[in-house]
Amino acid sequence: MHETASLRLVDPELLSVIDPYPQVGLPITDVREVRNELARMLAASPRPSDARVERAEVWIPGRKGASDVRALIYSPVNRSGPLPAVLHIHGGGYVVGAPEFAEAGNLSLAADLGCLVCSVDYRLAPEHPHPAPLDDCYTALIWLHDEAAVLALDRTRVAVKGESAGGGIAAALALAARDAGGPPLRFQHLTAPMIDDRTCVEGDPHPLVGEFVWNRERNRQGWEALLGHPPGLDGVSHLAAAARARELSSLPAAYIAVGALDLFLEENLDYGRRLTRAGVPVEMHVYPGAFHGFGAAVQARVAQAAARDSREALRRALLG
C-alpha cells in the first residue's frame, strides 16, 4: 500500500480493504469489460437468501414509449396491513452496477423493517446519459404509487434510498417528484451521494479526500459519461446534479451519511446545510477515518455503526 496524504487518517480497521477494493467502472473506455467482469463475479457468488422474504423480478412498463424497466422486488413473507416501501437505487458511478449487488442488504431491510423494497435496474451511462437513469427510477416510483393496492403498500410511507451515484439519482428523484407534483415521498436516504459535478473542477479542492476507491479522475469520467460533456459547465440541470438546485424547500426529510475521507464530503455537507436552511429536516453523519465505500469492511466498528445508523433512520421514517 503506497503512502498518501490521508493514509494516516484512515481508520486502522479499514486499511485491509483499500488495496483489494474492486476498481470498477473506469476508465470509461473499459466500461463494457468492467461490466462483464462484474457479471462474472456475480455469477460466481452464491445468491443470498432469507426465508423471511419473497423475491421477484418485475418489468415495469415504460412511460411515453420508453423501454420497460427491470426491478427486483423484496417483500416480507409475513405481512401485516399495508406495507411501507423503499425505492432503492444502486451505485456505480452512473456507469456500472445492478440491483443484484445490493441484494443481501435489501433482503435484510425488507425482513427487519417489514417493508417492500423495489431495487431499480436503471439504464447506465455513457450509452444512456441523463435523463435516462432518472427517468427509469421515476417510472418505478410512479408504478409503486399506481400499483399500491395490488402490492398492499401504504402510499404515504414511501422512501427513496441510494448509495453514491444511486444517492445522486435518489436526491434528483426527490426534486423531480416535487417539481412535477408527482408521487409523494416520505424520506430521502442518501449514502455518500454523488450530487455535484462541480467537485470535479473546484478551484480549492480538499487536500485529504478522494484518495481511496473513488478519486477525482474517476469522478470526472463518471460525470462526463452521465452528462455527455465535461462536468462543471454552466446550465447543468439540477435533475442531473442535485446540488445544482437553487430551491430546496418542500422536499422530504433527508438522511445523509458520508466518510470524512470521501471525495463527496464537502458537497454532501453543503447539501445538508442548504436543506436545513430550506426547512427540510436533515440527519447528517460523518464517519471519521472512512473513505468511499467503507461499508464493505463489514467487521470494522465504524462500518457497523454506519449500518446501524442507516437502518434506524429508515425505521424512524417509515415506522414512526
Residues marked active site are found at: 164, 262, 292
> Residues 149, 155, 160, CA angle at the centre, nearest 5°?
125
Q: What span, in angstroms and rounded, lies between the C-alpha atoms of 67 and 236?
A: 25
Neighbours of 206 (CB within 10 A): 14
What are φ and ψ of residue 98, in 5° steps?
Answer: -160, 155
- With a CB cutoff of 8 Å and minimum separation 6, the contacts of 154 are 81, 82, 83, 84, 85, 148
Contact 24, 96 (CB under 8 A): yes
Closest alpha carbon to 166 in 249, 248, 106, 79: 106
Residue type, 303: A
Closest alpha carbon to 95 in 156, 137, 33, 41: 33
How is residue 47 annotated by DSSP?
Answer: P
Contact 112, 60 (CB under 8 A): no
Q: H or E stretch including 37?
A: helix 31-44
